[in-house]
Structure formats: structure tokens, C-alpha cells
Amino acid sequence: MSARRVVSLVPSLTEAVAHSAPGLLVGATDWCSHPPDLAETGVVRIGGTKNPDVPGIVRLAPDLVIANEEENRAPDLAALRAAGLDVLVTEIRDLPSALRELDRVLVRGCGLPRPDWLDAAADAWASPPAPLGVRAVVPIWRRPWMVLGRDTFAGDLLARLGVTNVHAAHAERYPRIPLAELRASGADLVVLPDEPYRFTPTDGPESFPDLPAALVDGRQLTWYGPSLVQAGAVLARQLRGAVG
């Protein structure tokens, strides 16, 4: 049975659904920024990914709520299920799992035909740009400093572009590492995305004076959706611009 009313609790999945079936979404989080015309299409904002308005979602009477085990809290998902809603929870650790879960959400969950962009994304990453061959530290936050660790989607994309994450074997997925330790990590490069923390040319690179800094598009690095079609090319260009 095809869904007719969908609430998304994940920005990446919001874009994937909206791009594939305009009009299907009835609710999305405050952090869902793509596509930028969500409000104009009548999509209701239902709070944050970590603090959604559960009663508000229930009032929207969706056929399906789509979520992610990392981005959303288990108690909120349990409350939605207790209210009688169908909740589909994705689990994504790398590119292959992202492609599988997107198919599960769009085809099996929403009842849509498999979108062309999903095959285009798979094809694009089957032949990624030439590998860079560099070791990098990849902060995602500061105050305190946090970096990509093991088993992350963003880390997998970087690895496919020939960027070795120096903290890929860390016991934690997003460890807190003191700045002095990051500087002494033996990296060739620091990769600074503009989300979840918004690193900029004046906020981030100055902390790594001995390393070239690659300021990259956080959506291309961390979102699993239509952006995957061009993400490899965009990221490769931004990374090569830093290493020469």
C-alpha cells in the first residue's frame, strides 16, 4: 500500500522524499532545509530531530513517519508508535547501507517507483574521482572538538575519495579529541565541513596552522539523498583545492 501522507524526522530523507514525490510530505523538522520551498508546499514544521512535537505529528495523521536510529531518539519513536503511527527507522553507516535504506524508504515504505536519481547516485560512486591519497583529521564540532571516528557515512565517502580518516579505528563514532592531539595526529589535511558545526575560512583553519584546510560542503559529505549524484565530484574538487 502506498503512503499518501509522510512525516520525515531526518533532513536527508526529507529531501529524498520531496525530490522523488512532491506533495507526499506533510511534516518535516525545523532542520530540514532542502528543498528550500518546503513551506510553500504546505509542509508543517514539527520541531527538531531530537525534540519533535509528538502530539503535532499525531495530529497530522501520517501514513508513515521516517526516522534514523542515530538522528532521532528512541523514546520519541516509541511514543509515535504508541500513538498508532507506522514508523520506519533507517540505519546508515556507509554508502551501500545508505543506498539500500533509501530504496527501503522510497520504494517499500512510500510505495514509489525506484527513482532515477538513486541509480544515478549508485553509478556515480561506482566510478569515483581519482583517489587523493591523503590522511586527514575531520572535525565536526568545536568547543569541545569532536571528529569523525569509526563506522560513519561521511567517513566512508571520504575513504572512497582516497582520504584516510586518522581516527577511523577509534572506539567511538564521534570521539572528543583535544586540539593538541588533533594537531599531533600525523594528518596531511584537516577537513572542515560546514555542518553540523559551521566551519568557515575564519572559524576552524586557524586552529590547524601547520595543515592545509579543506572547507567542504557538509550536505555533500553527510546527507544521503539526491545530493549523492554530484557529491563525489563536488567533494573531490573541494579537497583537491586544499592539497593542490
* pLDDT tens across the length of the chain (244 residues): 688 999 999 999 999 999 999 899 999 999 999 998 888 888 999 999 999 999 999 999 999 999 999 999 999 999 999 999 999 999 999 999 999 999 999 999 999 999 999 999 999 999 988 899 999 999 999 999 999 999 999 999 999 999 999 999 999 999 999 999 999 999 999 999 999 999 999 999 999 999 999 999 999 999 999 999 999 999 999 999 998 7
- How big is the CA angle at 93 (ends 65 and 31), to the nearest 5 degrees? 45
Same topology, domains 6-114 and 128-243? Answer is: yes
Say what the pTM is: 0.94
**CA 216 vs CA 30, 182, 197: distances in Å:** 23, 19, 12
Considering the four listed CATH numbers 3.40.50.1980, 3.40.50.300, 3.30.70.1350, 3.40.50.170, the one that applies to the domain covering 6-114 is 3.40.50.1980
Give the pLDDT score at 13. Answer: 97
Helix (H, G, I), strand (E, B) or coil at 98: helix
Give the pLDDT score at 244. Answer: 74
CATH superfamily of the domain spanning 128-243? Nitrogenase molybdenum iron protein domain (3.40.50.1980)
Q: Where are the domains of the chain?
A: 6-114, 128-243
State phi, psi for 68 to the nearest 5 degrees: -140, 140
Q: How far apart are CA 28 and CA 82, in angstroms?
A: 20
* Cell numbers representing residue 23 in the block: 506533495
